[in-house]
Amino acid sequence: MKKVSFIIVNYNTRELLEKCVGNLVGIYPVEEIVVVDNGSTDGSPQMIKEKFGEKVILIETQDNGLAAGNNLGYEKSTGDYLLYLGSDAFPRSEVINTLVGYMNEHIDCGICTAKLVLRDGSMDWDAHRGFPTPWSALTYFSHLNRVFPKSKVFNQYYLGYKDMAQPHEIDACICHFMFVRREVHSVVGKWDEDFFLFGEDIDFCYRTKQAGYKIMFLPQIEVLHYKGATIGRKTARDIKVASQSDKQMKKRVTRESTRAMKLFYQKHYSNKYPKALTDLVLFGVYLLEKIRSLFGLS
């Protein structure tokens, strides 16, 4: 089996990180684990040193964002395949063999991901994304995708019309579980560090597909995902992370969620659509930012 590098970017999730790395060490002892700590203040780096020692390559840096952390992990890694992993994701022992086997057989696949399953047993649809075109975003934020969950016209945001029982191509997945062929980086470059916390994965997937690679969703593989734990969302209040009490972090999460939308649109879509539509989209993003800031949403 080709060597796999696990790349985890951490910020103040010590207990979750310990569980995540412990899981990897227990089931993939021969693989390479790279932890990039983005200036944690909760003792995460010391925990890695004390608990795992030389089993983990630890990079300590200031918090320049998730994309910057991923780049540091990529630069330090040596694997033929890279699994970008959140500290809130827990693959089982058979997962990596299946991913490597699939990629070895499908050389046109640059990225693949698994079915991420939340703690309540439901699917995390952020692992099964379409690109956020103006139409797909409109149908999502207007909830038309919920009214017509199987419609190809109204559910392009989460691609809900796809056959979820069979492997199939998608537009994008989140970097909490993103299995990447190393050569993809040689073709499309590194993660775009203009994205701080959100949007970096959509941007990387967009550039990957533009380069001619497929991005595949493999529903036969299931991975547990403690969604929202790494940034202290309400959905993970029972999981202890320092960011739950970090008010400045929460404000930045809210701000970055809409800044990423604006950045992605300006980078990839502003030259594809009429200026009037671009102005309308950016105004909509502005309004969304104000609403999220008012109600503390992300």
Q: Are 112 and 40 members of one domain?
A: yes
pLDDT of residue 249: 67
- Which amino acid is present at 204? F
Is 206 part of any domain?
yes
Q: Are 206 and 64 members of one domain?
A: yes
Q: Are 16 and 76 members of one domain?
A: yes
Return per-residue pLDDT of the chain as tens, 298 residues: 579 999 999 999 999 999 999 999 999 988 999 999 999 999 999 999 999 999 999 999 999 999 999 999 999 999 999 999 999 999 999 999 999 999 999 999 999 999 999 999 999 999 999 999 999 999 999 999 999 999 999 999 999 999 999 999 999 999 999 999 999 999 999 999 999 989 999 999 999 999 999 999 999 999 999 987 666 555 555 555 555 556 666 777 778 888 999 999 999 999 999 999 999 999 998 888 888 777 766 5
Q: Are 274 and 174 members of one domain?
A: no
Is 222 part of any domain?
yes
**Final residue of a structural domain among 218, 236, 254:** 236
Q: Are 229 and 283 members of one domain?
A: no
Q: Are 175 and 298 members of one domain?
A: no
Is 154 part of any domain?
no
Its domain, for residue 272, covers 246-298
Q: Are 232 and 257 members of one domain?
A: no
Is 148 part of any domain?
no
Is the CB of residue 171 less than 8 Å from the CB of residue 209? yes
Q: Are 219 and 268 members of one domain?
A: no
- Sign, CA dihedral 289-260-255-122, equals positive
Is 115 part of any domain?
yes
Residue 230: how many other CB atoms lie within 10 Å: 26
How far is Cα 97 from Cα 84, in angstroms, rounded to an integer? 16
Q: Are 223 and 255 members of one domain?
A: no
Q: Are 123 and 260 members of one domain?
A: no
Q: Are 230 and 254 members of one domain?
A: no
**Final residue of a structural domain among 183, 210, 236:** 236
How far is Cα 131 from Cα 140, in angstroms, rounded to an integer? 12
**What's the CATH number where 202 sits?**
3.90.550.10
pTM above 0.85, yes or no: yes
Q: Are 19 and 71 members of one domain?
A: yes
How far is Cα 82 from Cα 85, in angstroms, rounded to an integer? 9
* Structural domains in the chain (count): 2
| Residues whose CB falls within 8 Å of the CB of residue 164, separated by 6 or more in sequence, listed in order | 115, 123, 219
**Final residue of a structural domain among 192, 208, 236:** 236
Is 158 part of any domain?
no
Is 27 part of any domain?
yes
Is 281 part of any domain?
yes
pLDDT of residue 198: 93
